[in-house]
Amino acid sequence: MFIIKIGGNILDSPGRLRTFLVDFAQLHGPKVLVHGGGKIASSIGLKLGIEPVMVNGRRVTDAGSLDLVTMVYGGLINKKLVAQLQKYQCSAIGLTGADANLIKATKREIKEVDYGFAGDIAGSEDVNVVFLQSLLQQGITPVIAPLTHDGNGSMLNTNADTIASVLAIALSKSFDVKLMYCFEKRGVLANTDDDKSVIHHITPSIYEELKEKNVVNSGMLPKLDNAFSALNQGVKEVLIGEANTLLDLNKQVNFSGTTLSLK
């Protein structure tokens, strides 16, 4: 089965989004879509007088920002994706971590930075796998917003890459899971200025080498760390590449982006 994460760069472009959703609907087998939406949330927030505060590339979620992301991720973006997938004969259901207690998290402990209502997921045991399986067995495709809940009445804001990785780990106990991060580049690049310099295969030892030689862009490191953490916990493969290569996954061809595996 496939877990596909799409980020803001696709959500922001109606044309690319439509192409992506048509392809996603055609992807064979059980599948889950995880989406972000930070840029859209920030732009609506500005109109509402909510200034985005970012520390180390992560949003600080005060009460107003929590309402904002709950509206934008859980409502606007999520439901538009679902309505469009229904059009393409993919019976989608939009969910946050609160729905059916899908993903429980803990409000991030205040250390150097107070991230506010940011939710950290302890592990894949905090995923309601039974419910996800029931949906997949009914042919229903979960579309998941980057929101969790604390079990004590509050929503929490959680990074979409992390949600995709935790779901992949949780489902890998029952399925052969491939996790794909769709982003704006062709894959992990050896030279960020050269779009053709895709590194096609990364194993843990190659990853160590790339880090030592400072080849990998620092913005890429959290994604790769997340990916190897997923592989170490049972996920079969992690793929990183452009959204328009999605349907390669239906074919027995080499993936044109980056494939990560343990060996």
Q: Which residues bind its own copies (CB under 8 A)?
A: 44, 47-49, 67, 70-76, 78-80, 82-84, 86-87, 91-96, 98-101, 131, 134, 138, 140, 147, 149-155
Counting other chains too, the contacts that 192-196 makes at CB distance below 8 Å and 24 or more residues apart are 192/217
Q: How far is the CB of 96 from its own copies (least distance, A)?
A: 6
Half-sphere exposure of 13 (CA within 13 A, CB side): 11
Query: Judged by CB, which is closer to its own copies: 46, or 206?
Result: 46
Query: What Rg do the C-alpha atoms of the chain give, in angstroms?
Result: 18
Task: Collapse the DSSP code of 63 into the 3-class scheme (helix H, G, I; strand E, B; otherwise coil) and give the result.
Answer: helix
Is 108 within 8 Å of 115 (Cβ atoms)?
Answer: yes
Query: Judged by CB, which is closer to its own copies: 102, or 179?
Result: 102
Query: Judged by CB, which is closer to its own copies: 80, or 185?
Result: 80
Q: How far is the CB of 166 from its own copies (least distance, A)?
A: 18
> Where do we find the tokens 């089965």?
1
Q: How far is the CB of 64 from its own copies (least distance, A)?
A: 11
257 alpha-carbon distance from chain centroid: 17
Q: How far is the CB of 6 from its own copies (least distance, A)?
A: 17
> Where do we find the tokens 């799409």?
6
Query: Judged by CB, which is closer to its own copies: 22, or 60?
Result: 22
